Amino acid sequence: MPAPGPIEIAVSGRSNVGKSSLLRILLNNRKLVRVSGKPGRTREINFFSLETRELPPFILADLPGYGYAAVPTRLQEEWGDFVTHYLTTRPCLGAVLQLFDARREVYAYEREFIAWMSSIGKRIITVVTKVDKIPKTKWGQLRARYAKELKGFGAPVLFSSEKDIGREDLWRRLQRELERASH
Protein backbone atom coordinates (compact mmCIF):
# COMPACT_ATOMS: atom_id res chain seq x y z
CA MET A 1 0.00 0.00 0.00
CA PRO A 2 1.41 3.42 -0.86
CA ALA A 3 2.25 5.82 1.94
CA PRO A 4 -0.59 8.22 2.76
CA GLY A 5 -0.52 11.23 0.47
CA PRO A 6 -3.17 12.69 -1.84
CA ILE A 7 -6.84 12.14 -1.10
CA GLU A 8 -7.97 8.62 -1.96
CA ILE A 9 -11.38 7.54 -3.19
CA ALA A 10 -12.13 3.83 -2.84
CA VAL A 11 -14.18 2.05 -5.51
CA SER A 12 -16.32 -0.61 -3.84
CA GLY A 13 -19.09 -3.01 -4.79
CA ARG A 14 -20.13 -6.58 -5.38
CA SER A 15 -18.06 -8.82 -7.60
CA ASN A 16 -18.80 -8.15 -11.27
CA VAL A 17 -20.67 -4.87 -10.61
CA GLY A 18 -18.46 -2.97 -13.06
CA LYS A 19 -15.73 -1.45 -10.86
CA SER A 20 -12.94 -2.13 -13.35
CA SER A 21 -15.04 -0.91 -16.28
CA LEU A 22 -15.83 2.31 -14.42
CA LEU A 23 -12.13 2.81 -13.68
CA ARG A 24 -11.25 2.34 -17.36
CA ILE A 25 -13.61 5.19 -18.23
CA LEU A 26 -12.41 7.50 -15.44
CA LEU A 27 -8.76 6.81 -16.19
CA ASN A 28 -9.39 7.07 -19.94
CA ASN A 29 -7.13 4.07 -20.43
CA ARG A 30 -8.55 0.74 -21.55
CA LYS A 31 -5.23 -1.09 -21.11
CA LEU A 32 -4.40 0.04 -17.58
CA VAL A 33 -7.28 -1.82 -15.87
CA ARG A 34 -8.09 -5.44 -16.63
CA VAL A 35 -11.75 -6.26 -17.05
CA SER A 36 -13.12 -9.77 -16.71
CA GLY A 37 -16.56 -11.27 -17.07
CA LYS A 38 -15.64 -13.72 -14.32
CA PRO A 39 -16.22 -12.43 -10.77
CA GLY A 40 -13.31 -12.22 -8.35
CA ARG A 41 -10.49 -11.18 -10.67
CA THR A 42 -9.40 -8.18 -8.57
CA ARG A 43 -7.67 -9.80 -5.59
CA GLU A 44 -5.82 -6.88 -4.05
CA ILE A 45 -6.25 -3.14 -3.69
CA ASN A 46 -4.99 -1.42 -6.82
CA PHE A 47 -4.08 2.26 -6.64
CA PHE A 48 -4.35 4.67 -9.59
CA SER A 49 -2.94 8.17 -9.29
CA LEU A 50 -4.75 10.91 -11.22
CA GLU A 51 -3.86 14.47 -12.06
CA THR A 52 -6.15 16.74 -14.01
CA ARG A 53 -6.24 20.48 -14.68
CA GLU A 54 -9.56 20.84 -12.84
CA LEU A 55 -8.84 18.76 -9.72
CA PRO A 56 -6.10 18.39 -7.15
CA PRO A 57 -4.08 15.16 -7.52
CA PHE A 58 -5.95 12.18 -6.08
CA ILE A 59 -5.88 8.40 -6.02
CA LEU A 60 -8.57 5.90 -6.95
CA ALA A 61 -8.30 2.70 -4.91
CA ASP A 62 -9.87 -0.30 -6.68
CA LEU A 63 -11.09 -2.71 -4.00
CA PRO A 64 -11.76 -6.41 -4.58
CA GLY A 65 -15.44 -7.18 -5.03
CA TYR A 66 -17.50 -8.81 -2.32
CA GLY A 67 -20.34 -11.29 -2.50
CA TYR A 68 -20.05 -14.05 -5.08
CA ALA A 69 -16.57 -14.55 -6.44
CA ALA A 70 -15.07 -17.59 -8.15
CA VAL A 71 -12.35 -17.92 -5.50
CA PRO A 72 -11.97 -20.02 -2.35
CA THR A 73 -13.86 -18.88 0.78
CA ARG A 74 -10.55 -18.51 2.66
CA LEU A 75 -9.35 -15.95 0.12
CA GLN A 76 -12.64 -14.03 0.40
CA GLU A 77 -12.17 -13.92 4.19
CA GLU A 78 -8.62 -12.59 3.76
CA TRP A 79 -9.97 -9.89 1.43
CA GLY A 80 -12.36 -8.88 4.18
CA ASP A 81 -9.53 -8.44 6.67
CA PHE A 82 -7.18 -6.36 4.56
CA VAL A 83 -9.97 -4.32 2.96
CA THR A 84 -11.47 -3.62 6.39
CA HIS A 85 -8.03 -2.54 7.63
CA TYR A 86 -7.64 -0.21 4.64
CA LEU A 87 -11.11 1.32 5.00
CA THR A 88 -10.82 1.92 8.75
CA THR A 89 -7.22 3.07 9.10
CA ARG A 90 -6.35 4.98 5.94
CA PRO A 91 -6.10 8.66 6.96
CA CYS A 92 -6.26 10.02 3.39
CA LEU A 93 -9.39 8.05 2.40
CA GLY A 94 -11.82 10.83 1.53
CA ALA A 95 -14.80 8.95 0.10
CA VAL A 96 -16.11 5.62 -1.13
CA LEU A 97 -17.69 5.18 -4.55
CA GLN A 98 -20.24 2.45 -3.81
CA LEU A 99 -21.36 0.70 -6.99
CA PHE A 100 -24.66 -1.12 -7.51
CA ASP A 101 -25.79 -3.12 -10.56
CA ALA A 102 -28.99 -1.61 -12.03
CA ARG A 103 -30.32 -5.13 -12.69
CA ARG A 104 -29.98 -6.27 -9.06
CA GLU A 105 -31.69 -5.42 -5.81
CA VAL A 106 -29.86 -3.63 -3.01
CA TYR A 107 -28.81 -6.30 -0.54
CA ALA A 108 -29.00 -5.79 3.24
CA TYR A 109 -25.22 -6.17 3.60
CA GLU A 110 -24.73 -3.36 1.05
CA ARG A 111 -26.95 -1.04 3.10
CA GLU A 112 -25.05 -2.14 6.22
CA PHE A 113 -21.72 -1.43 4.52
CA ILE A 114 -22.58 2.13 3.53
CA ALA A 115 -24.12 2.78 6.96
CA TRP A 116 -20.90 1.52 8.57
CA MET A 117 -18.72 3.67 6.29
CA SER A 118 -20.87 6.68 7.10
CA SER A 119 -20.68 5.93 10.84
CA ILE A 120 -16.87 6.07 10.71
CA GLY A 121 -16.94 9.36 8.83
CA LYS A 122 -16.46 8.17 5.25
CA ARG A 123 -18.42 9.99 2.57
CA ILE A 124 -20.39 7.80 0.16
CA ILE A 125 -21.06 8.44 -3.53
CA THR A 126 -23.59 5.92 -4.85
CA VAL A 127 -23.27 4.82 -8.47
CA VAL A 128 -25.72 2.55 -10.27
CA THR A 129 -23.86 0.77 -13.07
CA LYS A 130 -25.02 -1.03 -16.20
CA VAL A 131 -27.97 1.33 -16.73
CA ASP A 132 -27.73 0.62 -20.46
CA LYS A 133 -29.28 -2.77 -19.64
CA ILE A 134 -32.45 -1.01 -18.38
CA PRO A 135 -34.84 0.85 -20.73
CA LYS A 136 -34.18 4.60 -20.56
CA THR A 137 -37.87 5.17 -19.78
CA LYS A 138 -37.27 3.34 -16.46
CA TRP A 139 -34.24 5.41 -15.33
CA GLY A 140 -36.35 7.86 -13.29
CA GLN A 141 -37.93 4.94 -11.40
CA LEU A 142 -34.49 3.36 -10.96
CA ARG A 143 -33.02 6.56 -9.51
CA ALA A 144 -36.03 7.00 -7.19
CA ARG A 145 -35.83 3.38 -6.01
CA TYR A 146 -32.14 3.69 -5.12
CA ALA A 147 -32.63 7.08 -3.46
CA LYS A 148 -35.41 5.54 -1.33
CA GLU A 149 -33.49 2.35 -0.48
CA LEU A 150 -30.31 4.27 0.33
CA LYS A 151 -31.89 7.11 2.30
CA GLY A 152 -29.48 9.82 3.31
CA PHE A 153 -26.91 9.14 0.60
CA GLY A 154 -28.40 11.34 -2.10
CA ALA A 155 -29.46 10.50 -5.61
CA PRO A 156 -27.18 7.96 -7.25
CA VAL A 157 -25.14 8.60 -10.37
CA LEU A 158 -26.54 6.48 -13.21
CA PHE A 159 -23.60 5.03 -15.12
CA SER A 160 -22.80 2.83 -18.10
CA SER A 161 -19.26 2.18 -19.27
CA GLU A 162 -20.56 0.58 -22.48
CA LYS A 163 -22.65 3.61 -23.55
CA ASP A 164 -20.55 6.29 -21.79
CA ILE A 165 -23.49 7.39 -19.64
CA GLY A 166 -22.93 9.30 -16.40
CA ARG A 167 -19.21 10.04 -16.75
CA GLU A 168 -19.63 13.83 -16.51
CA ASP A 169 -22.05 13.53 -13.59
CA LEU A 170 -19.59 11.27 -11.77
CA TRP A 171 -16.70 13.70 -12.40
CA ARG A 172 -18.80 16.52 -10.90
CA ARG A 173 -19.51 14.42 -7.80
CA LEU A 174 -15.83 13.52 -7.47
CA GLN A 175 -14.87 17.17 -7.80
CA ARG A 176 -17.27 18.16 -4.98
CA GLU A 177 -15.89 15.41 -2.73
CA LEU A 178 -12.27 16.32 -3.46
CA GLU A 179 -12.95 20.01 -2.78
CA ARG A 180 -14.72 19.12 0.47
CA ALA A 181 -11.96 16.73 1.59
CA SER A 182 -9.16 19.16 0.82
CA HIS A 183 -10.59 21.88 3.10
DSSP assignment of 65-116: PBSS-SS-HHHHHHHHHHHHHHHHH-TTEEEEEEEEETTSPPPHHHHHHHHH
Determine the pLDDT at residue 34: 54
Determine the pLDDT at residue 71: 44
Determine the pLDDT at residue 14: 87
Determine the pLDDT at residue 174: 92
Mean of the per-residue pLDDT values of the chain = 83
Instruction: State pLDDT tens for residues 92-120.
Output: 999 999 999 999 999 888 888 888 889 98
* Residue 38 pLDDT level (bands cut at 50, 70, 90): low
Please give the model's pTM, rounded to 2 decimal places. 0.85
Determine the pLDDT at residue 78: 55
Determine the pLDDT at residue 40: 47
Instruction: State pLDDT tens for residues 43-99.
Output: 578 898 888 887 788 999 998 877 644 444 554 455 567 788 888 898 999 999 999
Determine the pLDDT at residue 16: 85
DSSP state at residue 38:
S
State percent of the chain over pLDDT 90: 38
Determine the pLDDT at residue 162: 92
